[in-house]
Structure 1
Amino acid sequence: MPYQLEEIMAFFSVIIPLYNKEYFIKDTLKSAINQTFTDFEIIIINDGSTDDSYNIVNSFNDDRICIINQENRGLCASRNTGIKNAKGKFIAFLDADDLWMEDFLETIYHLINIHKEYDIFATNVKLLPPNKTPILIVEAFDTKLKTVITNYFELCKNILGPSSLVLNKSVFETVGYFDESINYGEEDDFYIRCFSVYSLLYYKGFKTYYRTGLQNQLTAPNKNFVRKIPDYERYLKNSDHPDLKKFIDFVHYRLVVLFKMEKNYKLVTFYKQKIDASNLTNVQKIKYYLPTDLFYIIKRAYIWFSKRVIHS
């Protein structure tokens, strides 16, 4: 049964925001409980779920689990609730449909011990298509796979996800919490604040699975979802970082791709105008310049092909 938060101190606080994930939360929670490194607490924020999610997590009998129930306030508010109630020195996020390999926390623990001067850690992420079985078994820690990234913005690609990210709790005192006024792109907004101040100690091995192809996934095209997107350009006003504009162009480029898939011509134009196309790769430039209708047809054909051939 869940315990009271004030009763425990832990090395890691694992924060799992939960909203209507009844088909995935059991496996997600098992992947956290089965970690080889065991000094952690699990804080599940039930964000007003209306399906069987709460009953599923409440059925687990593990003293490290605490469930906090709140009215539906969104992903950012759920993460913030978890952070503010965490007793661990390091905060590890795990989305309710993602999975950790059994040695995820152990890998992060090794990174922390090797480089105590760093405060932000992450591992690589592997995509998990539907109907594919994840491999969660332990792989030996390899020091050759760790690297320090002092300039995150110059990468302009996704090398981590929220479920592969671990931070010293003190980071939030410096850069602030997740912005509860937005409901899309909150990770990029947070990364901009984090990596304007901190370096990243990164493990290139895969230790996290991110599910793809799910219905109602926030990152998937959905014309009925009203997105509250950050104004990323506001960070340029008070920053002299040479690569921040390049990174923000990459973020805006992803929005252009998303809105092309939704055939939202107005927002495609809006975000295209913000981008300096010279900051894009050649492949990105092709997608950027392709007319929306043609891009949509090509992308739909690729999705159809990948579901029947690549993922079969």
Structure 2
Amino acid sequence: MQMTNKLLFSIGVPAFKAAFLKDCIQSILNQTYENFELIIVNDASPEDLETIVSFFNDDRIKYHCNEHNFGALNVVDNWNKCLSYAKGDYFVLMGDDDLMEPDYLINFKSLIEKYPQLNVFHCRSNIINESSELIGVTPSWPEYESLCENIWHRLFTNRVQYVSDFVYRTEVLRSNGGFFKQPLAWASDDITAYMMIDVYGIAHINRPLLNYRRNPKTISSTGNVNFKLMAIKNEISWIKEFVAGVKPIEKKEYLLASLIENNIAKYQIKKQAYTCVHFFSKGFLFGVIDLMRVKDIPLRVKILSIALVFKRN
């Protein structure tokens, strides 16, 4: 596939919070590669997002407002609403409080030209706080990874990644049904990436091009624990079925697929336990009582969660 300077990126921002939206938009408009469209979809926010958007006089901005709020539980529906408006060759989904480095798009364009057969690409991210101060950096990856390598490292080596780290081929993302819907978008980005990687693989830029804002008000940091536990159950079921359908050719891929299948139950218990830590937000004793009241959580998950909290304290 031959690439040209006319390669068009679609950047979707499913917007709800006003606090950092202006900075987010400005970081996108500051891109050194200028052939992109910016799609902002206001999820019927009670905050005045339209005034913020109208501050920018740029015809690359396409602003839409939902009649009804999808809400945190169904936030993936707004992700896919952004995708529905996209006209570009490649699609990026940006959080409304995150920031792009000025050379985000130009670096991804170069990577796409190097690996034109791939459908998904990735970069490292800086992690910033509410004051935009650097508090961390996501780990490096190899420049190229196969499907089973990617799943293994995401599940079992504590690899940190975010949805805005990824660039997707638009037509393939659409043909896959868009972003995989999960309650609270819990693991939606991971499953979507696996579907896009498929038999082709994924290419990576080994430097931070995104600034991901760690914010106590994000859906990842809040949200109903029971919905998150439901999403974990869905995620595990999906991964089991997906990996079982993989037909590895190389010995390494076959080995990794077997390791994933043999260790997925341990991953599930660990992820459930860390999620249950949210029960302890009101204190240790109240947390133990609330956790023990939930019948659907296995006892070993409850014990591990209590141990994690006890160790932290």
When the two structures are superposed, what TM-score results if normalisation uses the length of structure 2? 0.74
Checking the alignment, whether the CA contact within 8 Å between 1:255 and 1:271 is kept in structure 2 is no
Q: How many residues align?
A: 268
- List runs of 5+ in structure 2 lacking aligned partners: 1-5, 247-256, 280-286
Q: CA deviation at 1:269?
A: 7.2
Per-residue CA deviations over 1:191-213 (Å, capped at 9, x if unaligned) read 3433444411011211111111x
| Secondary structure of the structure 1 residue equivalent to 2:22 | helix
Q: Determine helix, strand or coil for the equivalent of 1:54.
A: helix
Per-residue deviation at 1:114? Answer: 1.4
Structural RMSD (CA) = 3.1
Give structure 1 stretches of 5+ with no counterpart.
Answer: 1-8, 136-143, 274-287, 302-312
CA distance in 1: counterparts of 2:30 and 2:51, whole angstroms: 20
State the one-letter code of the partner of 1:88. Answer: G
Residue 265 of structure 1 and its aligned partner are, at CA, apart by: 2.4
Instruction: Note the 1:175-214 alignment, pairs <5 A.
Output: 175-180=176-181, 182-185=183-186, 186-212=188-214, 214=215
Structure 1, 263-272 or 111-120: larger mean CA deviation:
263-272
Task: Pick the aligned partner of 2:241 from 237, 240, 249.
Answer: 237
Using the alignment, how far apart are the partners of 2:291 and 2:159 within structure 1?
25
User: Partner amino acid for 1:260?
Assistant: V
1:94 equivalent in structure 2: 94
What is the CA–CA distance in structure 2 between the aligned matches of 1:198 and 1:206, rounded to whole Å? Answer: 24
For 2:107 and 2:295, how far apart are their aligned partners in 1?
A: 40
By percentage of residues, which structure has more helix? Answer: 2
Q: How does 1:287-306 map to 2 (within 5 A)?
A: 291-299=304-312
Picking from 41, 44, 48, the partner of 2:44 is 48
Q: CA deviation at 1:232?
A: 2.0
> How high is the TM-score relative to the length of structure 1?
0.75
Percent of residue pairs bearing the same amino acid type: 19
Cα displacement (A) at 1:87: 0.6
Structure 2 counterparts to residues 56-71 of structure 1, below 5 A: 56-70=52-66, 71=68
Partner of 2:151: 153
* Secondary structure of the corresponding residue to residue 189 of structure 1: helix
User: Mean Cα displacement is larger for which, 69-78 or 34-43?
Assistant: 69-78
Pair 1:123-2:123 in alignment: yes
Structure 1 contact 104–208 (Cα < 8 Å) conserved? yes
Higher mean alpha-carbon deviation, 219-228 vs 70-79, is at 219-228
2:283 — aligned with what?
A: none
Distance 2:199 2:299 in 1: 28
Distance in 2 between the 1:10 and 1:66 partners? Answer: 18
Report the 3-state secondary structure (helix = DSSP H, G, I; strand = E; otherwise coil) of the residue aligned with 2:121. strand
Counterpart CA distance in 2 for 1:268 and 1:206 is 42
Report the CA distance between 1:91 and its aligned residue: 0.4
Check the 8 A contact 1:253/1:271 in 2, yes or no: no
Kindly state the Cα deviation for residue 187 of structure 1 after the two structures are TM-superposed: 1.8
Equivalence for 1:14 = 11
Indicate conservation of the 8 Å contact 1:125/1:159, yes or no: no
> Retained in 1: the 8 A contact 2:273–2:305?
no
